[in-house]
Amino acid sequence: MKSGAAVAAAASVCPIVLNLVVVGLDRALAALEARGLAAGPVQPGRRHRPVHGPPRPRR
């Protein structure tokens, strides 16, 4: 019956560990968004346009 006790202990501890992991990820994401790194390499103020060669002259 040792395995039953181990399963019960794991079942009681698992939600706590999951909660800690989720809260940690949420805090990390919030910190990244606060720094503006979660938006990616493109800054929100700059308009991102894929460049294919030199700019074409406008007609």
pLDDT in tens, 4-49: 777 777 777 777 776 776 777 677 777 766 666 545 555 555 555 6
Q: Which domain holds residue 31?
A: 1-35
Contacts of 28-35 with C-beta under 8 Å, sequence gap 24+, read none
Residue type, 33: E
Name the amino acid, one letter, at 44: P
- 9 falls within a domain: yes
Question: Is 0.85 surpassed by the pTM of this model?
Answer: no
Residue with tokens 């390499």: 41
| Within a domain: 4 | yes
pLDDT on residue 41: 58
What local confidence, expressed as pLDDT, does residue 27 receive? Answer: 79
Q: For the chain, how many structural domains are there in total?
A: 1
Position 53 scores a pLDDT of 65
Q: What is the CA angle 4-6-8, rounded to 5?
A: 70
Q: Is 53 left (phi over 0), alpha (psi -120 to 50) or beta?
A: left
Domain assignment present for 3: yes
Residue at 11 is within a domain: yes
